[in-house]
């Protein structure tokens, strides 16, 4: 159907919220994911579901056929043996499927720092995604370069409960543009509900303001009744070993450490001036309620 929007990564934070927002607007939505059960709640809201892999160009070409627009994201694979090769392969599959299906518009989930082709960890794969989509004939694309997801803090809950601290390889006082994933979905929904954009463009999404890890940890600590919760900057080697212990591949652990170095050294930072277009609404103080609920439930 020519008025359908296809949402990849629909079982994740951004894709799922995007699909729900589009469905509430009355948009016809096809959601893609690897697990049919995780798409069922969206089917119950009226979405059409397609289960398959975004590494399968024939599958994607089939589900993109007739769509007026596509939301394209690279699903994380923390066990990937070669992260950059995995990301590059999916970017190429997207480009091939969009070209053959004749889709005219796409919105990609990218990241602040994706203007750099290397030295930025997994963000480098989003550089590849942007370049691949920009090379598709007759495709207009908006690349949403989002900041650090507030939801990333949810991964710290075991550390907080187990050791009474938050921590990671990013420096204590490095300012980061932090954003709630629901705000990324809101911007994508505005673009995709009635897609009329043209050409290729980049839009940074910087959240409400910059936060440091120390500040963010204090905000979340107060929300869970631990006002003295501290953030500890881990040495890179220790952080890498911790990621390996969580099941990350060596390639992904190395990529995350490289990304942290890029944050710490100021190589990955917002490029666009903060404005109404780059600033989103949800504060970390507001997100803290979501964090506290997850903390209590864990």
What pLDDT, on a 0 to 100 scale, did the predictor assign at position 3? 72
The per-residue pLDDT for range 23-54, each reduced to its tens digit, is: 999 999 999 999 999 999 999 999 999 999 99
What pLDDT, on a 0 to 100 scale, did the predictor assign at position 91? 98
The per-residue pLDDT for range 139-180, each reduced to its tens digit, is: 999 999 999 999 999 999 999 999 999 999 999 999 999 999
* The three-state (H, E, C) secondary structure of 152-189, written as one string: HHHHHHHHHHHHCCEEECCCCCCCEEEECHHHHHHHHH
Q: What is the pTM assigned to this prediction?
A: 0.97
What class, spelled out in words, does domain 4-147+179-205 have in CATH?
alpha beta
- Determine what percent of the chain is predicted with pLDDT higher than 90: 99
Q: How confident is the model at residue 68 (pLDDT cuts 50, 70, 90)?
A: very high
Question: Going by C-beta distance under 8 Å and a sequence separation of 6 or more, which residues neighbour residue 133?
Answer: 72, 91, 94, 95, 98, 106, 108, 139, 141, 143, 200
**What count of Cα atoms within 13 Å lies in the side-chain half-sphere of residue 277?**
9
The per-residue pLDDT for range 74-114, each reduced to its tens digit, is: 999 999 999 999 999 999 999 999 999 999 999 999 999 99
Q: Is the pLDDT of residue 1 over 50?
A: no
Facing residues of 30 across strands? 6, 48
Give the mean pLDDT of the chain: 97
DSSP state of 153: G
Question: Going by C-beta distance under 8 Å and a sequence separation of 6 or more, which residues neighbour residue 242?
Answer: 234
């Amino acid at each position: 159907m020519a008025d359908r929007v296809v949402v990849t990564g629909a079982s994740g934070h951004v894709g799922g919220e995007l699909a729900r927002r589009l469905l509430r607007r009355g948009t016809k939505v096809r959601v893609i994911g690897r697990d049919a059960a995780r798409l069922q709640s969206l089917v119950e809201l009226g979405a059409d579901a397609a289960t398959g892999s975004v590494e399968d160009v024939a599958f994607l070409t089939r589900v993109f056929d007739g769509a007026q627009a596509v939301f394209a994201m690279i699903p994380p694979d923390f066990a990937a043996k070669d992260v950059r090769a995995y990301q590059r392969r999916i970017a190429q599959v997207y480009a091939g499927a969009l070209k053959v299906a004749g889709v005219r518009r796409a919105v990609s989930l990218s990241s602040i720092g994706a203007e750099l082709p290397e030295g930025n960890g997994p963000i480098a794969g989003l550089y590849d995604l942007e370049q691949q989509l920009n090379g598709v004939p007759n495709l207009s694309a908006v690349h949403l370069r989002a900041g650090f997801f507030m939801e990333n803090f949810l991964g710290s809950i075991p550390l907080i409960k187990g050791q009474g601290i938050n921590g990671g390889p990013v420096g204590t006082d490095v300012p980061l543009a932090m954003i709630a994933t629901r705000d990324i979905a809101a911007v994508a929904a505005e673009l995709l509900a009635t897609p009329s954009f043209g050409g290729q463009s980049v839009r940074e999404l910087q959240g409400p303001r910059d936060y440091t890890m120390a500040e963010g940890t204090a905000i979340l600590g107060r929300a869970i009744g631990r006002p003295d919760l501290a953030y500890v900057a881990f040495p890179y080697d220790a952080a890498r070993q911790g990621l390996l212990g969580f099941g990350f591949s060596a390639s992904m652990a190395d990529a995350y450490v490289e990304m942290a170095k890029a944050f710490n050294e100021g190589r990955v930072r917002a490029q666009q001036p903060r404005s109404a277009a780059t600033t989103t609404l949800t504060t970390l103080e507001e997100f803290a309620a979501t964090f506290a609920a997850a903390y209590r439930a864990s």
